[in-house]
Amino acid sequence: MNRVKSESLMQRALKVIPGGVNSPVRAFKGVGGTPIFFESSNGPYMTDVDGNQFIDYVGSWGPLIHGHCFPETLNGIKKQAGYSLGFGAPTELEIKIAELIVERVPSIDLVRMVNSGTEATMTAIRLARGFTGRDKIVKFEGCYHGHSDSLLVKAGSGVLTLGLPDSPGVPTDLAKHTLNSKFNDIEKITELFHLHGDDIAAVIVEPIAGNMGCIPAEAKFLETLKLLTQKFGSLLIFDEVMTGFRVGFHSAQGLYNILPDLTTLGKVIGGGLPVGAVGGSKEVMNRLAPSGDIYQAGTLSGNPLTIIAGISVIESLTPQSYEDLKEKTDYLVTGLTKAAHVSNVPVTINVVCGMFSLFFTDQNKISDYQLASECNVKKYTNFFHGMLEEGVYFAPSAFEAAFISTTHGEIEIEKTIEAANKVMPRI
């Protein structure tokens, strides 16, 4: 496969952009080689600058649940751009998206739109600290919640891929307020609460982790978090930036039937444009400025292009959309598993609705960061490059989730399984 133009663009990019990319995982550091520069996309396909076409399982890292260039989104954006790109003043569209989110996400009464998942989790943490009057927060190893200072401690994906346990520039004085615990470990978090419970403002968790690969929390673990936070007067934050509107009609909290105090959203609710949101009960959310004393703001928050894009996607998702996504993903995962087993490649594939991850390992259950990080990254790397050569684009990191869109049909899924059958014997 010829990728001459991508190679040359990377050389040019390196001269003016740190590492040549605007977000670290894009640089292919986790898998080696040169990142592919893309030019256009449609449905499940992306075309690079050299004219190669790929079936896409990254979906812009999650937002594109309807694939690339979803017609309702494009039409909405075009129409809105003809009216205005933004006013920095309220619009009816913002009420509409808030109403949709409140309707669908069981724990949300009020919601504030922001511009990224990072902003959403940063705001949720500030809100929890302000609301409880406490400083400490708890996160879990391998969960990624964006790159704000308090949360860049033992985070997944980019940080895992690059092998950075932490980041310089995060003040120790701040990091000391972030307590780490082990994902899916009930004993550890119970112990932590018995030691520090009265100082803990919030526990933040990805209910289905997607940043150490796809690792669903066990129901009992989330139930324990709910009980402990209630008992000790802390807030429970579900970071649903990745899972929100992705894994079910009522998001992950609907699947588990557990209501957090605060929920962060992003990705799908922006239809592919930059977005984030934080929502929760009236009591907590009304502490945000201007109704309350906890400050938060944003020049472009709730901008009409993002909001119209988000509305177009949310409105088009029905409970049936998720049934269909689940069926397709299960079919693909069965095919990939068979392809691996036929070639004697040990693999465990975690899957929830349209989200899945391949872990190359002998372990038949991957339930936390430790187990994920012990998987065979070399095999993933070989799988990734092999599939790329066959025209299938998976995430350039062993620690990311793959996503299926509603536009991935039988043809694309069969082609992917066929490609895996060719690639597995070689990895």
Sites of contact with ligand PLP (CB under 6 A):
61, 116-118, 121, 144-146, 206, 210-211, 239, 241-242, 266, 276
Closer to ligand PLP by Cβ: residue 206 or 412: 206
CA distance 29 to 67: 26
CB of 340 to ligand PLP, least distance (A): 26
Q: Which residue is nearest to ligand PLP (CB)?
A: 117
83 is catalytic: no
CB of 159 to ligand PLP, least distance (A): 11
Asked if residue 337 lies in contact with residue 93, where contact means CB atoms within 8 angstroms, the answer is no
- DSSP letter at 271? B
Catalytic residue among 56, 239, 261, 368: 239
CA distance 216 to 207: 7
Please provide the DSSP assignment of 328-372 as one string. Answer: HHHHHHHHHHHHHHHTT---EEEEETTEEEEE-SS-S---SHHHH
Closer to ligand PLP by Cβ: residue 114 or 179: 114
Strands 402-403 and 355-359: antiparallel
Q: In 89-150, which ranges are E strands?
A: 110-114, 136-140
Query: Is the peptide bond preceding residue 290 cis, with omega within 30 degrees of 0?
Result: yes
57 is catalytic: no
Query: Which pair of structure tokens corresponds to residue 129?
Result: 């600290």
Closer to ligand PLP by Cβ: residue 276 or 386: 276
CB of 403 to ligand PLP, least distance (A): 11
CB of 261 to ligand PLP, least distance (A): 17
User: DSSP 3-state assignment of 272?
Assistant: coil
CB of 423 to ligand PLP, least distance (A): 26
Q: How far is CA 33 from the centre of its chain?
A: 24
Catalytic residue among 144, 322, 380, 393: 144
CB of 131 to ligand PLP, least distance (A): 20
Q: 138 CB contacts (<8 Å, ≥6 apart)?
A: 178, 179, 180, 181, 189, 192, 200, 202, 203, 204
Closer to ligand PLP by Cβ: residue 111 or 340: 111
Strands 136-140 and 200-205: parallel
Closer to ligand PLP by Cβ: residue 48 or 119: 119
Closer to ligand PLP by Cβ: residue 29 or 385: 29
Catalytic residue among 136, 154, 182, 267: 267
330 is catalytic: no
3-state helix, strand, coil in the chain (%, to 5): 45, 15, 40
Q: Which residues are catalytically annotated? A: 144, 239, 267
